[in-house]
Chains A and B, each alone.
Chain A
Amino acid sequence: MQKRKLSALLLGASIASSGFAATEIEWWHAMGGALGEKVNEIVADYNASQDAFKVKATYKGNYSETMTSAIAAFRAKQQPELVQVFEVGTASMMAAEGAIYPVHKLMRDSGQAFDGSKYLSAVTGYYTDNDGNMLSMPFNSSTPVLYYNKAMFAKAGVTPPKTWEEMQSVGEKLLASGAKCGFTTAWQSWVHLENMSSRHNQPFATKANGFGGMDTRLAFNSPLQVKHVSKMGEWQQNGIFSYSGRRNDGAAKFYSQDCAMYTESSAGYAGIKKNAKFDFGVVELPYWASEVKQPSNTIIGGASLWVLKGHKSEEYKGVASFLNYLSSADVQADWHQFSGYLPITTAAYNLTKGEGFYAKNLGTEVAVQQMTVGTPTENTKGLRLGNFIQIRGLIDEALESVWNGEADAQSALDNAVKRGNMMLTKFEKANK
């Protein structure tokens, strides 16, 4: 009897509390360290700004861990309302129509003012469907740039290379001046194949890089990419290039001043600033002058926020309100300036510019300019490939076989295309 009374009391209490308390919204993200603290700060500010909704942000590990746990949670019907998914997971999310709630629809259903044209098209392009509807909310986007060591450049008497042709002579002079290596890179597939292709307005895959349908097939074994990879293989042998791993381990060689240059995400800026004990500069990613007169825009990396189905409309109202808050100019500009990620709206970009941030922090605007040059074409809008995580893995393998001299560029890329196409076929079949 005593027990029953107690449980009745508890029930009453829980009903009462749910009546008063704000509607809770779960957001799973992959932002660790300083970025994670910033995310918590943004969430706290939002929660303090109103009292109808309460966002609860949870760090779920790295990008693939976050995505995997959200999917596992969905299968167990325990999914969060909002989840951060990296750009390579985009096709998988899009294909899961029964699981995702497109952002443009969410905004309309919950009556939030939403204008897709306020966003930078180079950023949102990656996340919109063919009718121009935004499916997920871009959150942290970056693009690859070239960082260089000013002291080492002065010693060798060179200026940063604008083109890959110049890289040859700049690299030689650096080596002659005593540098151990010319440049190293992070995220090789993203920088030296995906962005390499878009920078020269060449397809990475057929069917508009996968935007045109799931029957897309890889196309990164054309003369341009073969030439670039083959040259990099040569440079790896003579020291102009020094490979240092699939992720961003290359930073170590840049910090230790073994390498004078480093191709890495624009979002690496904060880390480099903190760790480099020397003056460094940022310039645009080089291009092959023999291939194009004017380079096209680079594409983005990073992540966007996806809304998952299976919750109450009240909760979705909260999600919409939170997303609206996130894309407001103040929040965006603050996030952009703090992290080095790109601003997602024109307003945030102009605000940052107006505050004189770019003038004070030289090099921080390079990525934005490089991203927004020209109008994105079907080759530069982004990539939408199923099983892309695995495809990147096998591209890594192929490139490494070129770096260590086991294979030549043409056969390595042909092979990666062949194996990658099998992944695409598999994805097409599993997501009919």
Chain B
Amino acid sequence: MTVTFPHKTLPWLLVAPQLLVTLVFFLWPAGQAIEQAFYQEDAFGLSREFVAFENFIELLQDPYYYNSIGVTLVFSMAVAVSGLSIALVLATMADRIIRGQMVYQTLLIWPYAVAPALAGVLWWILFDPAQGPIALWLEYMGIEWDHFVNGGDAMVLVVIAATWKQISYNFLFFLAGLQAIPRSLIEAAAIDGAGPVRRFWDIVFPLLSPTAFFLLVMNIVYAFFETFGVIDATTAGGPGQSTKILVYKVYEDGFVGLDLGGSAAQSVILMMIVGLMTVVQFRFIERRVQY
């Protein structure tokens, strides 16, 4: 039996604020970006010329653009995989602790309140090759660290900075997911002789899979769109192009370089990539998720 409302307009009124927000903050700017992508314009908006697909053709002919796509994929996979796995380990451990649980949980959630740019700067300083404590420790251990010169080091650094913050978010959801799993199931398995590892993979993990799937989507979207603060405050895309992710390139070309058409074309492509990835995730991965 379904519940029905007598009013036809009330449901609309109730969703109206959300619709309005979507319209004003997503659909409208997205529409403007699509329009802008077909124009070439000077920074001040004094002259504007319709150039059809020229902005797109230029991008697709630029080998550096493909490089940036590659960097983005590596970056977002690294952020999503490490963010999810570390958070899962932490959540499992925090779930088991009996004494001082609140303290651990609060401390683990804390980093989420830190702005991405600040998180970036914080790690940047910790890893600074001349003065950063972590870099000095690495040097002491015989590991050379120089994120100014070495692209791999720079990538590791931005992944750490971007992941650190996101671990808290993932942790929160995993912990809630874990606490929703009935104790009786786990106890029954334990009585049947299943060890902690077996219990985790056979009972806990499948029951957590909807949460894990939701977080995978959220993390990839995060890595694609919300990490430019981290990059901007640290490597600015360098050294070379080794940390120039797509969203940073959009920002750099549009807001620093003032090439609005080219930047808009990039954001349209970025929207399509993320749209496509979300569709793929829902079609293929979601089938394996057990609700």
Asked if B148 is at the interface of the complex by the 8 Å CB criterion, the answer is: yes
Interface hits, B222-273 → A, CB 8 Å: 236-241, 252-253, 255-259, 262
- Selecting from B38-46, B91-99, B283-291, the interface stretch reads B38-46
Q: How far is the CB of A22 from chain B (nearest CB, A)?
A: 29
Q: How far is the CA of A24 from the CA of B43 in the complex (A)?
A: 27
Asked if A99 is at the interface of the complex by the 8 Å CB criterion, the answer is: yes
B44:A249 contact, CB within 8 angstroms: no
Asked if A95 is at the interface of the complex by the 8 Å CB criterion, the answer is: yes
A397:B148 contact, CB within 8 angstroms: no
Count how many pairs of residues, one from A and one from B, have CB atoms less than 8 Å apart in the complex: 93
Q: How far is the CB of A308 from chain B (nearest CB, A)?
A: 9
Q: How far is the CB of B276 from chain A (nearest CB, A)?
A: 28
Asked if B141 is at the interface of the complex by the 8 Å CB criterion, the answer is: no
Q: How far is the CA of A64 from the CA of B49 in the complex (A)?
A: 25
B240:A400 contact, CB within 8 angstroms: yes
Partner of A246, one of B151, B238, B253, B258: B238
Q: How far is the CB of A233 from chain B (nearest CB, A)?
A: 11
- Selecting from A9-17, A287-295, A338-346, A401-409, the interface stretch reads A401-409
Asked if B149 is at the interface of the complex by the 8 Å CB criterion, the answer is: yes
Q: How far is the CB of A295 from chain B (nearest CB, A)?
A: 28
Q: How far is the CA of A95 from the CA of B259 in the complex (A)?
A: 14
Interface residue tally of chain B, by bracket? Answer: 20 to 34
Contacts of B64 in A (CB 8 A): 419
Q: How far is the CA of A52 from the CA of B122 in the complex (A)?
A: 47
Asked if B130 is at the interface of the complex by the 8 Å CB criterion, the answer is: yes
Q: How far is the CA of A396 from the CA of B243 in the complex (A)?
A: 13
B149:A243 contact, CB within 8 angstroms: yes
A390:B241 contact, CB within 8 angstroms: no
> Closest chain A residue to B129 by CB distance?
A244
Partner of B148, one of A92, A95, A243: A243
Q: How far is the CA of A397 from the CA of B64 in the complex (A)?
A: 11
A430/B41 contact (C-beta < 8 A), A64-B255, A244-B129 known = yes
Asked if A222 is at the interface of the complex by the 8 Å CB criterion, the answer is: no
A400/B238 contact (C-beta < 8 A), A64-B256, A245-B148, A390-B256 known = yes
Contacts of A176 in B (CB 8 A): none
Q: How far is the CA of A337 from the CA of B255 in the complex (A)?
A: 34
- Selecting from A26-34, A119-127, A251-259, the interface stretch reads A251-259
Give 1 or 0 for each of A217-247: 1 = CB within 8 Å of chain B CB: 0000000000000000000100000011111
- Selecting from A68-76, A149-157, A315-323, A356-364, the interface stretch reads A68-76
Contacts of B47 in A (CB 8 A): 430-432
Q: How far is the CA of A245 from the CA of B147 in the complex (A)?
A: 9
Give 1 or 0 for each of A421-432: 1 = CB within 8 Å of chain B CB: 000001001111
Interface hits, B118-162 → A, CB 8 Å: 128-131, 148-151
Interface residue tally of chain A, by bracket? Answer: 35 or more
Contacts of A243 in B (CB 8 A): 148-149
Q: How far is the CB of B245 from chain A (nearest CB, A)?
A: 14
> Closest chain A residue to B149 by CB distance?
A404
For chain B, what secondary structure do more than half of its interface residues adopt (helix, strand, loop), or is it mixed?
Answer: loop
Contacts of B149 in A (CB 8 A): 236, 243, 400, 403-404
Contacts of B241 in A (CB 8 A): 397
Q: How far is the CB of B140 from chain A (nearest CB, A)?
A: 14
> Closest chain A residue to B147 by CB distance?
A245
Asked if A39 is at the interface of the complex by the 8 Å CB criterion, the answer is: no
B240:A404 contact, CB within 8 angstroms: yes
Contacts of A390 in B (CB 8 A): 252-253, 256-257, 259
Q: How far is the CA of A237 from the CA of B135 in the complex (A)?
A: 19
Contacts of B148 in A (CB 8 A): 243-245, 249
> Closest chain B residue to A62 by CB distance?
B256
Contacts of A429 in B (CB 8 A): 40
Q: How far is the CB of B237 from chain A (nearest CB, A)?
A: 8
Partner of B259, one of A96, A97, A258, A426: A426
Contacts of B130 in A (CB 8 A): 244, 252-253, 256, 258
A95:B42 contact, CB within 8 angstroms: yes
Contacts of B40 in A (CB 8 A): 426, 429-430
> Closest chain B residue to A401 by CB distance?
B240
A431:B42 contact, CB within 8 angstroms: yes
Contacts of B239 in A (CB 8 A): 397, 400-401, 403-404
B252:A393 contact, CB within 8 angstroms: yes
Partner of A96, one of B46, B238, B256: B46
Give 1 or 0 for each of A365-404: 1 = CB within 8 Å of chain B CB: 0000000000000000000000101100100110011011
Q: How far is the CA of A397 from the CA of B130 in the complex (A)?
A: 22
> Closest chain A residue to B151 by CB distance?
A404
Q: How far is the CA of A429 from the CA of B240 in the complex (A)?
A: 27
A68/B238 contact (C-beta < 8 A), A245-B148, A256-B131 known = no
A75/B45 contact (C-beta < 8 A), A252-B128, A397-B241, A400-B149 known = yes
Asked if A19 is at the interface of the complex by the 8 Å CB criterion, the answer is: no
Q: 20 additional contacts, CB 8 Å, given A430-B41, A432-B47?
A: A64-B255, A71-B43, A75-B45, A96-B44, A96-B46, A98-B44, A99-B46, A244-B148, A252-B128, A252-B131, A253-B130, A387-B259, A389-B258, A390-B256, A390-B257, A397-B241, A400-B239, A429-B40, A430-B49, A431-B47
**Chain B residues in contact with chain A, CB under 8 A?**
40-47, 49, 64, 128-131, 148-151, 236-241, 252-253, 255-259, 262
30 A-B pairs (CB sep. < 8 Å): A68-B256, A68-B258, A75-B44, A92-B43, A96-B46, A98-B44, A98-B46, A99-B44, A236-B149, A244-B130, A246-B236, A256-B130, A389-B256, A389-B257, A390-B257, A397-B240, A401-B240, A403-B239, A404-B149, A404-B150, A404-B151, A404-B240, A419-B64, A426-B40, A430-B41, A430-B47, A430-B49, A431-B42, A431-B47, A432-B47
Rank and list the top 3 A-B pairs by shortest CB-CB distance, nearest first. A400-B239, A390-B257, A253-B130
